[in-house]
Copies of this chain bind each other. A is one copy, B any other.
């Protein structure tokens, strides 16, 4: 049987009340006594029974999830996962609330963050828009004692406690190597479709992509990035235009959302020429395109995993527990036609 508070009390030769004071860092214990108790805790290897503790506290964890109100499949998926987490929340003693903010709007995000500073939830998860204002707002929250984790897009340089998302530079490099290898030493141009260079994850993917192509595939030329604002129609127009203008394009890397338009543009051209295409985010559209050969590989981040991980990390933080690092590492999934889930 694992040791309990009673065992500590007996081992340290103090009362249960004193043990409780030490364990919960309540005042009214002399230094020497505190040391004695702490020694006993270490010696008998006591670990607090979190389930019992939470039961006694009657505690729930008010958490807030801030998601951008973007109309693309990826964000819809993320939203669905958050809702699923909300549905599970009573069982997990969490009390999750979601807040929607306009996408790409640092000011709105800051306003929400500052307001949450008043409400003082037990933790906040957000899809960060990368801006100094947001960074400062996050730092204010953290300094006031509210842990913050970023999801999908990180806020480097801030005091955020954790990032539940993929390494986007590595993602870009991986996309580059796949595309380069699949093209098998061919010479030509690569079109890159992004959402916006204002978001950090897109910038990082491009950076990783361009640098690896330059390093290892000198015969490939990365064309200036096309910004489709994650909007299907805009993406369609811009990509169709680029393909019409440049015959040298032999590959496409789509690093953002809004792939519906891209796929349409690619299919229009399918008769003319065969392009090698790597895209991000597995959705119904990209999945179908992968299966019919329009897309050659999809890089993906598992939104469900990201959401669950963010919640686990925040909860563990609130409980003062540690997490299993390997479990919280968000992997970059690579899907070919054959290993789709």
Contacts and interface: CB of A to CB of B under 8 A. Distances in A.
A338 interface: yes
Given A181-B181, A304-B326, A327-B308, A174 B47 contact: no
Contacts of A178: 336
Given A185-B184, A304-B327, A334-B334, A2 B90 contact: yes
Contacts of A176: 338
A250 to B, nearest CB: 13
Contacts of A52: 51, 55
Nearest to A276: B181
A327 B184 CA distance: 36
Contacts of A177: 336-338
A331 B333 contact: yes
Interface in A29-55: 47, 49-52, 54-55
Interface residues of A, number: 45
A51 B55 contact: yes
A317 interface: no
A111 to B, nearest CB: 31
Contacts of A249: none
Contacts of A51: 51-52, 54-55, 93
A91 B47 contact: yes
A164 interface: no
Interface string A137-168: 00000000000000000000000000000010
Contacts of A202: none
19 contacts: A2-B90, A52-B55, A173-B338, A174-B336, A174-B339, A176-B338, A178-B336, A181-B182, A182-B182, A182-B184, A184-B184, A184-B185, A302-B326, A304-B327, A305-B326, A308-B324, A308-B327, A331-B341, A333-B333
